[in-house]
Amino acid sequence: MSEHTLRLTINGHPHQVTVPANRLLIHLLRDDLGLTGTKEGCSVGVCGACSVLVDGVLVSACLVPAILADGASITTVEGLAPDDEHLSPLQEAFIRHGGFQCGICTPGQLIAATALLEEVPRPTAEQVKSWMMGNLCRCTGYYQIVDSILAAAKSKA
């Protein structure tokens, strides 16, 4: 199998990696770079646990061949906080409003919500529910997730 050298910017840091042609972005992030915050849930792109931003676009990392991300800027959950001492307002809101419980879906929820708030800074509850439809959670019942996102949007005003 052919190998490809990729140049990526991940969470603001440049990386150069050589991967086999069939390497998926989820495995590049988790296995090759140790960014284990991005979770692999369903492996078929329907649960949202592996959500990342590629050049600002929300994608399922379990579906994207890594070679398609060559030259891209990728944001994972590890890149949401401004530094090692602080959390993003969205992360803070998830803590304050109970937007997570077991943590398996939380990274994908945070990434999807980040994309939403970039596109719609002051969403309605219905917009949040519609946008977050692709992120499954078995623990919270979703109410706390919606409340967390709305609280983060309000705090940005």
Of the candidate CATH numbers 1.10.240.10, 3.20.20.70, 1.10.150.120, 1.20.1250.20, the domain formed by 89-156 belongs to: 1.10.150.120
- Please state, in angstroms and rounded to a whole number, the distance separating the CA atoms of residues 37 and 34: 9
- Looking at the chain, which runs of residues are DSSP E strands? 3-10, 13-20, 51-54, 57-60, 73-75
Question: What are the start and end residues of each CATH 1.10.150.120 domain in the chain?
Answer: 89-156
**Model confidence pLDDT, tens digit, residues 114-146:** 999 999 999 999 999 999 999 999 887 799 999
Q: What is the pTM of this model?
A: 0.95
Fold classification of 3-79 (topology level): Ubiquitin-like (UB roll) (3.10.20)
- At 88-118, the pLDDT tens digits run 999 999 999 999 888 899 999 999 999 999 9
